Structure 1
Amino acid sequence: MPNSTPPRWKRWKTELTLAAAFAAATPVAALDLASRYQAEPHLSPLPRTDAERVRIEAVTAPATDFSAPEPFENLPAGAATVRARSDDEAFSQHSANLSFEQELEFKLGNGLFKKIWVFAPASTLGSDGLGPLYNARSCQRCHLKDGRGHVPEQPDYASTSMFLRVSIPGPVPSEMQVISDYIGTAPDPNYGQQLQDFSAPGIHSEYKLQVDYGEFEVPLNGGQTATLRRPLYTAANLGYGPLAEGAMLSPRVAPPMIGLGLLETIPAADILAHADEEDADGNGISGRANLVWSQEFNQIMLGRFGLKAGSPTVHEQSAGAFSGDIGISTPLFPAHAGECTNQQIKCQSAPHGGSDSRETEIDQPNMDLVTFYSRNLGVPARRNTDDPKVLRGKQVFYDSGCTSCHVPKYVTHRLQDRPEQSFQLVWPYSDLLLHDMGEGLADHRPEARATGREWRTAPLWGIGLTQQVSPRATFLHDGRARTLLEAILWHGGEAEAAKTRVVELSPRDRAALISFLESL
């Protein structure tokens, strides 16, 4: 059942919990440190009035009537919602409420997002600097049509939109030692933090990603069965010697790009209101905030982006992808060699695209355009919200406990400088918190506070159009689930009870649940 704890009480409880957690480490500064969970230096929000708080609590309350759609349910991104196209461009539209001038900015950002980078030196000075090690030559080649990536296929296993993250156990950085449960990691000394399977001429690539599957049957109520596939990942053809002892690998498929600016403007306090680390309400769900160090703002911030909520802002996530995925230096991550380690001598000494007039291979004005584009990819309108089967599926979604993690709706900050994201009722179906998803989905690789069994709740908006945008796209962090039902059946840990309820549903109700998800 959905959590019925009043949001205001949960916010108060969260603040006390955070203050108590910090008190043990630094008693004098406990309250100041706790407030960093809610620090939002990337935003300049106006304070909410008491009247607005009352309105927001009413409009974001869980649904109780499933006989008809809720008001504005067909507009998951509020005024930014775009029409639901029936082709593969469904995720590539700009937010509907952009001004004419902003549309031009969006189009310029789109050009940079699609730009094919080339090796240096090249005659196209604005596009050189690729690699020397890389996973893709453009942002678009990972986020296919701005949607999900896909797993590599035999025989060549060319991944492009999927890779392996890697790390080894390491010390906790000094700036993060105020967080008692922060998990220290370090890059692999030979391979860094991410394995790249492409390289410049004369330089070895790092590996080839190989994926093999073993299948097994899951019985469902009503005489039905589902076939799940369990993946086995191999870092084959390692180009720089063995991985370090204790190396931890995590497969990642590129997630969709829609709605990121709206996720960025949900008040941190509203996200934290759903955190319940000690499961005080006894519902078996204990969402936790990931806390990360922001390179952009030099402070601890709430993680929102990435499969383990390891990045705090759209800009920082985008800059990290340029460095790690394409090998392009940015003002935030200025290393021209990208992810090359000190052990990769040829990689470190390879030509790059920097110059006296161009300190990094992409400069800040162009990074701002990419960030604006990434913030304003529109969320498509819901379909069939008044269909009786979809409405029944919505009730099943609630009754099965799915909304305990996939929180349906929020109201974004009121912002003067970002009107396109300001004070919108949005329906991402995520709490943006970390949850233990069980051993079946564990990657055993921690990231900041996230353990090897924890993942950020994936937003569900647009999920019904995923395979329309990219027919090869599949689901979950590593693409193992070929269907939405398979994705549900992989849920474990905190979601085990909800998964079991879905298994026990009648075939009719299970089909209704899938119809609801397909309408998102």
Structure 2
Amino acid sequence: MNLLNSKKKGSRHNLLFKYGMLLLLIVSASCSNTDDYTPLVPEEDEELSGGSATSFIFSPDAFGFSVDGLSLDDQITFGVGNSLFNQSWVTAPASTTARDGLGPFFNARSCSGCHFKDGRGRPPAFEGELAHGLLLRLTLPGIGVNGGTIPDPIYGGQFQDNSIFGIDREGVLSVTYETVVVTYSDGSSVDLQKPIYEMVDLNYGAMNAGVQVSPRVANQMIGLGLLDAIPEAVILSYEDENDVNGDGISGRPNYVYDVNTANLKLGRFGWKANQPTVKQQVAAAFSGDLGITSSLFPEENCNPELNCDEISNGGSPEIPDENLDNVAFYAATLSVPARRDFDNEEVLQGKELFNSINCSGCHIATFETGAYAIDALANQTIRPYTDLLLHDMGDALSDGAPEFRATGNEWRTPPLWGVGLIETVNDHTNLLHDGRARNIEEAILWHGGEAEAIKNSFMALNKEERTKIIAFIETL
């Protein structure tokens, strides 16, 4: 019995020893894996979205600060431009001659009426609410003067739902929504909202039956001068119109009419890259949104059904070149907020996923600016996450309205910098050219055309991975 018990005890000890060794190996392997794991780290200066033109203020005024490095004179110019950007224009004639000439038709009374706090507009949140920075472009099929668009013969190139006293407005903008359900492979779903636009209560007769309607929402103003300072050759190096590299992405430039030089020039600004310079973008907004003439756009937006010569104006032009230049300088020198949580491990994992499914095929992270008239914007390493090129985004996002080289399906890649602060600045998270996407996830799910495969790759990820990509974008 003693010998038998001894053998049993020995077997039990051997068994315990074997289990102990196995446990030790598992623990050792686990520790070894932990020791071998290298945490992800951000790139050097990755938080500096605008290079030295980056600001570190993340308040509701985050989009409204000038870049560092401006001279005293430039700081004064920035201040004057800021004042003009925020001032409300009034009907002519007025004692305040520096800001009269509004209308006769308009969408807003000030630049900040669409770009509140230099930020982003949005469509009506419910039926009957007025738009806050959403407008409708109107064009007819065909090619117009200088290769541009052909406006509606009565309502012009932009529907304007406000007018000065004594003049009937053009009509009322109405937006309703249909629900589009998108379902992931895990069974979860997202309800997208598809907008339907109507222009009702028209006061000057019917529009042309062939009118093409393109909704556009006002974008945040940050970093425009930095985008202007990217050398053209660098932007064109990403052109791949015939998809030679076979990645499904075929970005191409838009060439648009430059009023100042009377030539076609690379388009950089606007949802279809339809403006070549910051100054022309600003002047076009004064003309179309406020009804303010300038030396670049001297014609009044006046309905031919009216006797336009009898309507008082604020001079010819209504905004002098000096003031137009001040506003353009202001727009060009608004700084880009720095990234937040850029070194967070989950954010860095989201960045890797963002790149792995090729979101970076259009949203190019890093550029170097070149020589530029504003020294503070020259020779900077910037991270705008755009290529400034046109891409076919599919039928679901098409407006059916070509503009210069851009087709109805094509849109310029919007810069992503600042997207995570829109809610802080503007109290909403609406995205895309017409604000239909109520958050980043919805914006991704609307992608089609060249981005269809990338969207499908996003949808194939598990929820945790999708959440990490969104968390990364929210830091931009």
TM-score (norm. length: structure 2): 0.90
2:418 maps to 1:462: yes
For residues 319 and 75 of structure 1, what CA distance do their matches in structure 2 show?
30
Q: Is the 8 A contact 1:157 1:209 kept in 2?
A: no
State the 1:348 CA deviation. 4.9
Distance 2:78 2:127 in 1: 38
- Residues 313-335 of structure 1: CA distance to partner in whole angstroms, max 9, x if unpaired? 00000001001100111111112
Q: Report how far residue 298 of structure 1 moved.
A: 1.0
Residue 292 (structure 2) pairs with residue 328 (structure 1): yes
1:158 aligns with 2:130: yes
* Alignment counterpart, residue 334 of structure 2, candidates 361, 370, 377: 377
Amino acid in structure 2 at the alignment position of 1:331: S
> Which residue identity does 1:158 align to in structure 2?
L
- Whether 2:238 is the aligned partner of 1:265: answer no
Whether the aligned pair in 2 keeps the contact of 1:166 and 1:250 (CA below 8 Å) is yes
Alignment check: 8 A CA contact 1:133 1:347 kept? no
Aligned equivalents of 2:198 and 2:246: distance in 1? 40
Q: For residue 227 of structure 1, what is the aligned residue in structure 2?
A: 191
Counterparts in 2 of 1:155 and 1:287: CA distance versus 1, 3 Å: closer
Determine which of 411, 431, 454 is the counterpart of 2:387: 431
> CA separation in 2, counterparts of 1:489 and 1:153?
20
Q: Alignment partner of 1:398: what SS?
A: helix
Structural mapping, 1:223-302, within 5 Å: 223-302=187-266
Q: 1:77 aligns with which of 31, 41, 50?
A: 50
Q: Structure 1 residues 274 and 99 mapped into 2: Cα distance closer, same or farther (>3 Å)?
A: same
Is 1:408 aligned to 2:365, yes or no? yes
In the alignment, residue 332 of structure 2 is paired with which amino acid?
R
2:169 alignment partner, SS class: coil
Contact 1:66 1:392 in 2 (8 A): no
Shift of 1:172: 5.2
Deviations 1:263-306 (A, max 9, x none): 00101110010010111111100001001110111111000000
CA distance in 2, matches of 1:451, 1:286: 13
Specify which of 460, 472, 475 is matched with residue 428 of structure 2.
472
| Equivalent residue for 1:419, pick from 375, 380, 397 | 375
Q: Aligned to 1:396, which of 331, 353, 357?
A: 353
What residue in structure 1 maps to residue 302 of structure 2? 340
Q: C-alpha displacement at 1:170, in angstroms?
A: 2.9
Q: Distance in 1 between matches of 2:428 and 2:245?
A: 40
Using the alignment, how far apart are the partners of 2:235 and 2:330 within structure 1?
A: 24
Paired with 2:41 and 2:221, the residues of 1 have a C-alpha distance of 30
1:510 aligns with 2:442: no
Give the counterpart of 1:482 among 431, 438, 449. Answer: 438
Shift of 1:96: 2.4
Per the alignment, residue 41 of structure 2 pairs with: 68
Equivalent-residue separation in structure 2 for 1:66 and 1:247 (angstroms): 55
Unaligned runs of 5+ in 2: 1-37
Instruction: Report how far residue 258 of structure 1 moved.
Output: 0.2
Larger Rg: 2
| Matched residue, 1:5 | none
Q: TM-score, normalised by structure 1?
A: 0.82
Secondary structure of the equivalent of 1:329? Answer: coil
Aligned to 2:159, what secondary structure does the other structure show?
coil
Please name the residue that 2:173 is paired with. Answer: 209
TM superposition shift of 1:408 = 0.7
CA distance in 2, matches of 1:505, 1:84: 34
Q: Is the 8 A contact 2:127 2:174 kept in 1?
A: no
Per the TM alignment, residue 104 of structure 1 is displaced from its structure 2 partner at its CA by 1.8
Q: CA deviation at 1:473?
A: 4.7
Instruction: Give the letter aligned to residue 118 of structure 2.
Output: D
Of stretches 300-309 and 359-368 in structure 1, the one that deviates more from structure 2 is 359-368
The DSSP-based 3-state class of the residue aligned with 2:112 is coil
Name the residue aligned to 2:113: 141
What root-mean-square deviation, in Å, do the aligned CA atoms of Structure 1 and Structure 2 show?
1.5
1:311-360 deviation per Cα after TM superposition (whole angstroms, max 9, x unaligned): 0000000001001100111111112x2x224x232445311111xxxx31
Match of 1:495 among 451, 460, 465: 451
Q: Which of the numbers 315, 324, 331 marks the counterpart of 1:367?
A: 324
Provide the aligned length of Structure 1 versus Structure 2.
Answer: 439
Distance 1:237 1:150, change over 3 A: same
Q: Distance in 1 between matches of 2:413 and 2:108?
A: 26
Does the C-alpha gap of structure 1 residues 137 and 172 become closer, same or farther in structure 2, counting only changes over 3 Å? closer
Residue type of the partner of 2:311?
A: A
The Cα offsets for residues 460-504 of structure 1, whole Å up to 9 and x where unpaired, read as 001000111101351000000001000000000000001001111
Cα deviation, 1:212-233, whole Å, max 9, x if unaligned, reads 0111321124443211111111
- Aligned counterparts, 1:168-207, within 5 A: 168-171=140-143, 173=145, 176=147, 185-207=149-171
1:55 maps to none
Instruction: Give distance in 1, aligned partners of 2:298 and 2:345.
Output: 54
Shift of the 172–194 alpha-carbon distance from structure 1 to 2, 3 Å rule, reads closer
Counterparts of 1:216 and 1:320 in 2: how far apart (Å)?
34
The answer on whether the counterparts of 2:174 and 2:197 sit within 8 Å (CA) in structure 1 is: yes
> 1:454 and 1:238, CA in 2 relative to 1: closer, same or farther beyond 3 A?
same
